[in-house]
Copies of this chain bind each other. A is one copy, B any other.
Amino acid sequence: MSSGEEHPRVAQQGPGRLDLNQFLPYRLNRLADRISDELERMYAQRYDLNVAQWRVLAWLSHCDDLTAKKVCTYTNMDKARVSRAVQALVDRGLVTRTPSARDQRVHDLHLTPEGAALLSRLIPEAQDWEAELVATLSAGEYRDLLNAMGKLERQLERIG
């Protein structure tokens, strides 16, 4: 760790050169990846959940009457990925999937008591960890950050 340079020697700027540290997509990705890695370790080690499963559970805690399709749109995950995550959660008895009375194609997803119990342990841990992460930001900085991210997401919809 102390052997190599922590920061690269930067070549002169200019056309055909890209300063990645000023390139938002790169910075955002690096940060998100590192955060994701940390949380993933937490879910995986203690609860044997992968990211997709965690997201499904989190949405189930967040809003009632969920379906796989909704999870796809909310989380931007592929429907195959969601399907497999839900399957794993059903197999573990954390979630129920029942065909909707209205539309037999749709399956309503719900937490089982076991799933709710697991979440009631996991969520506080995740929130504590997040609190520690953002401890260096003031309340205003935190608000501005979420705000800027919201603007970027809306701009993405416009561009894409």
Identify the A interface with B (CB < 8 A). Answer: 4, 6, 8-11, 15-20, 22-39, 55, 58-59, 61-66, 69-70, 73-76, 116, 119-120, 123-124, 126-127, 129-130, 132-137, 141-142, 144-146, 148-149, 151-156, 159-160
Contact = CB atoms under 8 A, between A and B. Distances in A.
Nearest to A117: B16
Contacts of A11: 62-64
Contacts of A28: 28, 31-32, 35, 149
A107 to B, nearest CB: 15
24 contacts: A6-B73, A8-B63, A9-B64, A11-B63, A15-B124, A17-B62, A18-B126, A20-B58, A23-B58, A23-B130, A24-B35, A27-B146, A28-B28, A28-B35, A31-B32, A32-B33, A34-B153, A38-B160, A133-B152, A133-B155, A134-B155, A141-B148, A144-B144, A144-B148
